[in-house]
């Protein structure tokens, strides 16, 4: 049924870069046999899902949305891909994204932009826009995304779906193509909060192959889901309702806050005073780490190679010139500049210090409240083409999602209404490190 749905709608939505019909059907048949025998591999055995094309899949091309990895067929699965296979979930294919997850609209994909199922002239968000659109258009029951600065939460908000960025270290990054290693975190994107809980249950496992994977116990994410919010203190960070916010987006979010009060939560006004520095901090740290991570694409080891190059230096130069898109090049240059001798202390080191201040804002807030509730994006899904030539205005749409990654805490997006034009708005729930179960419970109460 999912494959038929893909056949029916994906020529319009364009969520998929690659559909693995054969692999998916074989997995579905094996699952069927297990279910008939009464021995399902997990609660989600047989549930078809898709993968952002940033996750390595053994034997199936993986491009990160870039020309430079065109034709790259990984010899191994990412840990989370292995976990999904072991749990019996058929993998339907690879979903579109901004090149190397750099972007907020899917328009930096080297292949084509994905369209928002709620209004196909608009972006589904990014960088996990293909994942969000596929879930929203009912092509898959769930998908994996990655979130470095909002790339799970913002597309979820733009498509009326649920997206969870777990605590840094909760889900393995092994075999996930690196963008900014100290910020990247994979997570589930689903139709409902209960589905997000079930999918996180499969993904959240300590992985010795990822040195930043946290050796912590995995709770039962579905157990407390229906616990409600009565008696909880929910902080409303005043810096997250700044000028420039679309009034219709703000109205939907304020409506959600009133609903939480009605459900028995207490709203508390809190301040995260360093929020105003998050954008500058992120757009230093992320490109710096990206410039280092992307140095491996040199035409020698993976994907594209400029075969006509004369000599090694020209091979590097021509391969990168042809293989990287404009946004990847911009970030490589920004990051290389920030890390160069003499500038390191002034930029990267300074940004790391501000990052600590941002993390301390959250620590202090969580001494007063159980979780924070806020908007995801200051704007509704914008038109494809609207911001593509203005990187700064694109970066500005990330203001409310970046601090969470800088602090390493978990964040979730749950649908909270629509603008007058019928465009989805998401509510953000932020929590203490490793408190995903509480975030899911808070989101579920509202759903
Ligand atoms: N939009 C942000 C960026 O371009 C976040 C992307 C992400 O989370 N991968 O860096």
In this structure, are residues 349 and 342 in contact, taking their beta carbons and an 8 Å threshold? no
**Domains of the chain, residue spans:** 2-203
Atom of ligand 1 lying closest to residue 150 CA = 8
Q: Does domain 2-203 have CATH number 3.90.1300.10?
A: yes
Distance between CA atoms of 163 and 200, rounded to whole angstroms? Answer: 11
Q: Tell me the pTM.
A: 0.98
Q: Which residues does the chain have with pLDDT short of 70?
A: none
By alpha-carbon position, which residue is closest to atom 5 of ligand 1?
A: 149
Atom of ligand 1 lying closest to residue 101 CA = 9
Distance (Å) from CA 249 to ligand 1 centroid: 21
Distance (Å) from CA 115 to ligand 1 centroid: 18
**Percentage, residues of the chain above pLDDT 70:** 100
Query: Could you tell which of 108, 147, 150 is best to mutate to test the pocket of ligand 1, judged by most ligand atoms within 8 Å of the CB?
Result: 150
Distance (Å) from CA 398 to ligand 1 centroid: 8
Distance (Å) from CA 150 to ligand 1 centroid: 6
Closest CA to 219 of 170, 154, 151, 160: 170
Query: Could you tell which of 286, 293, 377 is best to mutate to test the pocket of ligand 1, judged by most ligand atoms within 8 Å of the CB?
Result: 286
Predicted pLDDT of residue 148: 98
By alpha-carbon position, which residue is closest to atom 10 of ligand 1?
A: 102
Distance (Å) from CA 253 to ligand 1 centroid: 22
In this structure, are residues 374 and 411 in contact, taking their beta carbons and an 8 Å threshold? no
Atom of ligand 1 lying closest to residue 180 CA = 9
151 is known as an active-site residue? yes
CA 331-57-211 angle, to 5 degrees, is: 65
Predicted pLDDT of residue 124: 98
Atom of ligand 1 lying closest to residue 152 CA = 8
Reduced to 3 states, what is the DSSP secondary structure of residue 55? strand
Exposure b/e, 161-178, CB count within 10 A at least 16 = b: bbbbbbbbbbbbbbbbbb
Q: State pLDDT tens for residues 222-275.
A: 999 999 999 999 999 999 998 889 999 999 999 999 999 999 999 999 999 999
In this structure, are residues 405 and 150 in contact, taking their beta carbons and an 8 Å threshold? yes
Which candidate in 105, 127, 128, 172 is catalytic?
Answer: 127
Lining ligand 1 with CB less than 6 A are: 101-104, 127, 147-151, 179, 286, 398
In this structure, are residues 389 and 396 in contact, taking their beta carbons and an 8 Å threshold? no
Distance (Å) from CA 320 to ligand 1 centroid: 21
Predicted pLDDT of residue 113: 98
Distance between CA atoms of 18 and 164, rounded to whole angstroms? Answer: 24
In this structure, are residues 272 and 432 in contact, taking their beta carbons and an 8 Å threshold? no
Give the sheet arrangement for strand 16-19, strand by strand.
Answer: 16-19, 91-95, 49-52, 142-146, 186-190, 162-165, 411-418, 424-431, 371-375, 233-237, 266-270
Atom of ligand 1 lying closest to residue 398 CA = 1
377 is known as an active-site residue? no
Atom of ligand 1 lying closest to residue 327 CA = 4
Which candidate in 31, 42, 52, 108 is catalytic?
Answer: 52
Reduced to 3 states, what is the DSSP secondary structure of residue 60? strand
Predicted pLDDT of residue 130: 98
Closest CA to 109 of 274, 324, 403, 420: 324
> Which residue has tokens 């490109």?
287
Distance (Å) from CA 180 to ligand 1 centroid: 9
Give alpha helix (H) positions in 180-325: 193-203, 247-262, 278-293, 312-323
108 is known as an active-site residue? no
For the question of an ipTM over 0.90, the answer is yes
Q: For residue 234, which phi and psi values (nearest 5 degrees)?
A: -110, 120
Distance between CA atoms of 139 and 190, rounded to whole angstroms? Answer: 11
Predicted pLDDT of residue 239: 97
Query: Could you tell which of 148, 280, 326, 411 is best to mutate to test the pocket of ligand 1, judged by most ligand atoms within 8 Å of the CB?
Result: 148
């Amino acid at each position: 049924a999912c494959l038929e749905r893909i056949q029916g709608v994906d020529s319009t939505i364009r969520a998929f870069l690659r559909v693995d019909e054969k692999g998916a059907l074989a997995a579905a048949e094996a699952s069927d046999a297990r279910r008939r025998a009464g021995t399902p591999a997990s609660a989600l055995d047989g549930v078809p899902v898709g993968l952002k094309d940033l996750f390595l899949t053994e034997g199936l091309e993986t491009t990160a949305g870039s020309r430079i990895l065109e034709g790259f067929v990984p010899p191994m699965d990412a840990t989370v891909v292995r976990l999904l296979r072991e749990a019996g979930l058929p993998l339907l294919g690879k979903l579109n994204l901004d090149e190397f997850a750099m972007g907020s609209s899917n328009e930096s994909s080297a292949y084509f932009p994905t369209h928002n199922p709620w209004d196909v002239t608009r972006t589904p968000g990014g960088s996990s826009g293909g994942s969000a659109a596929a879930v929203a258009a009912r092509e898959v029951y769930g998908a994996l995304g990655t979130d470095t600065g909002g790339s799970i939460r913002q597309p979820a908000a733009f498509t009326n779906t649920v997206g969870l960025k777990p605590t840094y270290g909760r889900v393995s990054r092994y075999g996930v193509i690196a963008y900014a290693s100290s910020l990247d975190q994979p997570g589930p994107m689903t139709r409902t909060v209960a589905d997000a809980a079930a999918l996180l249950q499969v993904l959240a496992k300590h992985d010795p192959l990822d040195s930043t994977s946290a050796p912590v116990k995995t709770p039962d994410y579905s157990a407390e889901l229906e616990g409600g919010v009565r008696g909880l203190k929910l902080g409303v960070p005043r810096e997250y309702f700044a000028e420039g916010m679309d009034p219709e987006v703000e109205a939907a979010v304020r409506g959600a806050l009133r609903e939480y009060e009605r459900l028995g939560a207490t709203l508390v006004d809190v301040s995260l005073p360093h929020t105003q520095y998050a954008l500058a901090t992120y757009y230093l740290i992320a490109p710096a780490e990206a410039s280092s991570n992307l140095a491996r694409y040199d035409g020698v080891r993976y994907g594209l190679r400029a075969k006509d190059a004369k000599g090694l230096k020209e091979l590097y130069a021509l391969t990168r010139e042809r293989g990287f898109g404009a946004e990847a090049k911009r970030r490589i240059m920004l990051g290389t500049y920030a890390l160069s001798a003499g500038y390191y202390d002034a930029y990267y080191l300074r940004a790391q210090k501000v990052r600590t201040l941002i993390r301390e804002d959250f620590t202090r807030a969580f001494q007063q409240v159980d979780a924070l509730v806020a908007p995801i994006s200051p704007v509704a899904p914008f038109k494809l083409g609207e911001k593509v030539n203005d990187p700064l205005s694109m970066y500005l749409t990330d203001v409310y999602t970046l601090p969470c990654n800088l602090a390493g805490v978990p964040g979730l997006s749950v649908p909270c209404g629509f603008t007058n034009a019928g465009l989805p708005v998401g509510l953000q729930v932020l929590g203490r490190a490793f408190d995903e179960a509480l975030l899911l419970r808070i989101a579920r109460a509202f759903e």
